[in-house]
């Protein structure tokens, strides 16, 4: 089985150097110098680790077949040599969001907020991997961790993507968001 569970360990070790951390909505995260991404579980008491965020890759919750086919056609994987820039965006959505039914959430995410179409527009430049946290336990600090990778030349595109998403109806349900920018060195 391929790894689905990943730990994002913020501390002093790892190939990704933190260049900026911003609390967009709600509480931020303690400042760290580097992030290491490791498959599986991690002992959070490891020396030098400031925090550990866990997330698991899961089945599609909203994407439909036609959208999935377009995503698969355009997307490229993580780990491209030229992708020396990354972002880790942990978010949490409020109780109103989680009380919505499936059709109500889909309508907000795509018909109103164009979340899937916006992501498509920035492929293949902006690669992304979504990790779910909410159902790992009862008390996770975030609901989702999204990891993005792109070349330095696409940083402005990435910022525009975030502006579009943060202006959407979907984002009115986000009650915590942190924006961590990184460079691989």
**Judged by CB under 8 A, does residue 56 bind its own copies?**
yes
Site stretch for its own copies (CB under 8 A), options 17-25, 127-135, 154-162, 166-174 = 127-135
Q: Locate 177 and state its tokens.
A: 């968001």
Shortest Cβ distance from residue 103 to its own copies (Å)?
4
| Neighbouring C-alpha atoms within 13 Å toward the C-beta of 168 | 23
Q: Which of 134, 160, 166, 184 binds its own copies (CB under 8 A)?
A: 134
Print the binding letters for residues 5-44 with its own copies: x by CB under 8 A, - otherwise.
Answer: x----------------------------------xx---
Of the pair 31, 101, the CB lying nearest its own copies is at 101
Q: Which of 62, 76, 94, 96 binds its own copies (CB under 8 A)?
A: 62
Helix ranges, the chain (H)? 65-74, 95-99, 102-106, 115-121, 155-166
Closest CA to 92 of 9, 175, 32, 162: 175
Shortest Cβ distance from residue 64 to its own copies (Å)?
4
Shortest Cβ distance from residue 30 to its own copies (Å)?
24
Strands (E) located in 26-156: 34-39, 49-56, 85-93, 127-132, 144-150
Number of neighbouring beta carbons within 10 Å of residue 41: 11
Q: Which of 102, 111, 156, 163 binds its own copies (CB under 8 A)?
A: 102
Give the β-pairing of 144-150 and 49-56.
unpaired
């Amino acid at each position: 089985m391929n790894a689905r569970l990943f730990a994002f360990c913020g501390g002093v070790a790892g190939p990704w150097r933190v260049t900026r951390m911003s609390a967009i909505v709600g509480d931020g995260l303690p400042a760290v110098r580097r992030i290491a991404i490791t498959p599986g579980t991690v002992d959070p008491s490891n020396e030098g680790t400031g925090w550990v965020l866990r997330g698991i890759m899961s089945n599609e919750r909203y994407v439909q077949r036609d959208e999935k086919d377009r995503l698969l056609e355009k997307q490229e994987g993580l780990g491209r040599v030229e992708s020396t820039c990354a972002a880790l965006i942990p978010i949490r959505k409020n109780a109103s969001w989680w009380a919505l039914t499936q059709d109500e959430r889909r309508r907000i995410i795509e018909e109103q907020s164009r979340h899937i179409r916006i992501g498509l527009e920035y492929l293949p430049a902006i690669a992304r991997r979504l990790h779910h946290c909410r159902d790992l336990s009862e008390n996770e600090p975030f609901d989702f961790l999204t990891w993005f990778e792109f070349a330095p030349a696409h940083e402005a595109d990435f910022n525009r993507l975030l502006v579009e998403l943060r202006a959407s109806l979907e984002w009115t349900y986000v009650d915590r968001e942190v924006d961590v920018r990184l460079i691989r060195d």
